[in-house]
Amino acid sequence: SHLCERLLNEGHDILCVDNYFTGSKANIAHLLDHPRFEVMRHDVTFPLYVEVDEIYNLACPASPIHYQFDPVQTTKTSVHGAINQLGLAKRVRAKIFLASTSEVYGDPTEHPQTESYRGNVNPIGPRACYDEGKRAAETLYFDYWRQHKLRIKVARIFNTYGPRMHPNDGRVVSNFIIQALQNEPITLYGDGSQTRSFCYQSDLIEGWIRLMNTGDEVTGPVNIGNPSEMTVRELAEAILRLTNSKSEIIFKPLPQDDPTRRRPDITLAKKLLDWEPKVDLEDGLKETIAYFRKKIAD
């Protein structure tokens, strides 16, 4: 929804395609009357026949609670979805963008993660439907680029947050904020020492658009994320402070294959896109907290 807004503001005509598995129609309700915006309920695991110049393929549930709900469908969304979107791009000669993920690096043995790192992924674990699905999607994009000279752009996205997140998506930012606002115990997995790097949605979208606007010789993959690393416990403490919450922190066992460290090396994004995140974590968290506070009140 944030990407649709940004592209509309730049004068584009937008066809937004969603099956609403994790998306919410409320997030685009304010765009429905816009003369250059239309929306179609459609699942990317089925072919789509439309006329477009550019495709942003963001389709796939991205939080463990959602992608593990129906792991077969998750893999289909990444793999069949990529085949269908690439087929569409080939038919209409469109430029196509893939929202890939830092999860292609798995539980990394290299830190921070560069685009040349090939990852440490468990192909038969409970997260594999997402991790390996996205890895296969990247394979397909590069094969279409080599075989059909398709114009591709691949971004590897690191943890992102901001308003309009799903309140029950199981991600740390939304989890912690909802728990803190309701003064419920904040759940940390493991001892809370695992690290993440959080990028605000507007910074992420700026990176995507800059990548999409590069010359055809730039394919990616390019890491798009915030290199400012913090522990999950530090995030919980920041949210407690910003919400004035009375919540206590409780600890639960770490899920299988959960990455212990996550931080992007964004040297390539700086060089190719002249991009780096601008929004301070505290400012981004304040915006996100205000959104969830209103959502709970409504």
| pLDDT tens for each residue of 140-165 | 999 999 999 999 999 999 999 999 99
Task: Quote the CA–CA distance of 133 and 74 in Å, as a whole number.
Answer: 7
Task: Report the relative pairing of strands 229-231 and 195-197 from DSSP bridges.
Answer: antiparallel
User: What per-residue confidence (pLDDT) applies to 229?
Assistant: 92
Contact 208, 273 (CB under 8 A): no
Largest CA distance in the chain: 58
Length of the chain: 298
Nearest alpha-carbon partner for 98 in 87, 86, 108, 110: 86
User: What per-residue confidence (pLDDT) applies to 76?
Assistant: 96
Condensed to tens digits (0 to 9), the pLDDT of residues 199-253 reads 999 999 999 999 999 999 999 999 999 999 999 999 999 999 999 999 999 999 8
Task: Quote the CA–CA distance of 25 and 187 in Å, as a whole number.
Answer: 29
Task: Quote the CA–CA distance of 234 and 69 in Å, as a whole number.
Answer: 29
Task: Quote the CA–CA distance of 255 and 278 in Å, as a whole number.
Answer: 32
Contact 84, 48 (CB under 8 A): yes
Distance of CA 235 to the CA centre of its chain: 19
Angle subtended at Cα 71 by Cα 57 and Cα 91, rounded to the nearest 5 degrees: 30
User: What per-residue confidence (pLDDT) applies to 295?
Assistant: 92
User: What per-residue confidence (pLDDT) applies to 258?
Assistant: 77
User: What per-residue confidence (pLDDT) applies to 254?
Assistant: 83
Query: Which residue among the candidates 130, 141, 144, 161 is catalytic per the annotation?
Result: 130
Half-sphere exposure of 266 (CA within 13 A, CB side): 25
Task: Quote the CA–CA distance of 186 and 251 in Å, as a whole number.
Answer: 8
Condensed to tens digits (0 to 9), the pLDDT of residues 50-83 reads 999 999 999 998 877 778 889 999 999 999 999 9
How many other β-carbons are positioned within 10 Å of the β-carbon of residue 213?
12
How many other β-carbons are positioned within 10 Å of the β-carbon of residue 286?
13
Condensed to tens digits (0 to 9), the pLDDT of residues 81-138 reads 999 999 999 999 999 999 999 999 999 999 999 999 999 999 999 999 999 999 999 9
The token duo for 159 is 């943890």
Condensed to tens digits (0 to 9), the pLDDT of residues 259-288 reads 788 899 999 999 999 999 999 999 999 999
130 belongs to the catalytic site: yes
Contact 158, 223 (CB under 8 A): yes
Distance of CA 137 to the CA centre of its chain: 15
